[in-house]
């Protein structure tokens, strides 16, 4: 931590303030604030909102890395033993595009369940110009990774286009040229 690290031994808690960085096995978590419960092995972390000189507000996100996958998010509650996490406001690059989700669960096999999510190839993940809205999705990582999604539709410049939608579908996450 760049600011302070506080051990509360009576309650078995650790508090990390300002640019915390925790590494455990193949997991790394970076966030502005973290609290670690040493009994339950839960880490709760979040970023911060930073006001720039021109008056705009920039959200500094938390970054979670495990193995090859990296996720940027607003908040995370991660259990070190079970390797499960509940995440709010995730943005992660998968294949050629970005997956963005509001309510996300990371499972111990590194699959990700997303509720109220979107997939886009637009590089402005804070407010994409176009995206495919997904009511629910499951991201299965790996060499032959894929995203399996529930009902959804296309949104262009914040205009829902419900007749350009699918009841369900999937797409591969591999990078580069594809056939079929």
CB neighbour burial string for 69-107, b if at least 16 within 10 angstroms, e if fewer: bebbbbbbebebeebebebebbebbbbebbbbbeebebe
Distances (CA, A) of 53 to 19, 50, 166: 21, 10, 44
CA 107, 111, 116, 121 dihedral sign is positive
Model confidence at 51, in pLDDT bands (50, 70, 90)? low
Which pLDDT score is estimated for 61? 76
| Closest-CA residue to 19 (of 42, 41, 40, 50) | 50
Name the band, by pLDDT with cuts 50, 70 and 90, for residue 12: very high
Q: What is the pTM of this model?
A: 0.78
**CA 4 to mean position of chain CA atoms:** 26
Assess whether pLDDT exceeds 60 at residue 56: no
pLDDT digits (tens, 9 = 90+) for 59-118: 567 888 887 778 888 889 999 999 899 998 888 887 778 888 888 998 988 888 999 898
What number is the average pLDDT over the span 39-45? 93
- For 129-159, how does the pLDDT look when each residue is reduced to its tens digit (9 = 90+)? 999 898 898 988 777 778 888 888 889 998 9
User: Nearest CA to 159 among 138, 130, 136, 137?
Assistant: 130
């Amino acid at each position: 931590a760049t600011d302070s690290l506080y051990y509360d031994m009576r309650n078995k808690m650790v508090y990390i303030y300002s640019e915390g960085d925790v590494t455990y096995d193949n997991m790394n978590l970076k966030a502005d604030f973290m609290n670690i419960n040493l009994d339950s092995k839960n880490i709760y972390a979040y970023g911060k909102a930073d006001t720039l000189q021109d008056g705009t507000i920039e959200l500094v996100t938390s970054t979670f890395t495990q193995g090859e996958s990296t996720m940027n998010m607003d908040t995370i509650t991660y259990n070190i033993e079970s390797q499960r996490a509940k995440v709010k406001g995730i943005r992660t690059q998968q294949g050629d595009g970005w997956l963005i989700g509001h309510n996300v669960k990371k499972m111990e096999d590194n699959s990700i369940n997303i509720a109220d999510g979107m997939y886009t190839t637009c590089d402005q993940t804070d407010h994409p110009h176009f995206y495919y809205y997904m009511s629910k999705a499951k991201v299965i990582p790996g060499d032959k990774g894929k995203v399996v999604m529930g009902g959804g539709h296309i949104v262009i410049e914040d205009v829902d286009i419900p007749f350009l939608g699918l009841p369900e579908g999937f797409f591969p996450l591999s990078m580069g040229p594809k056939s079929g």
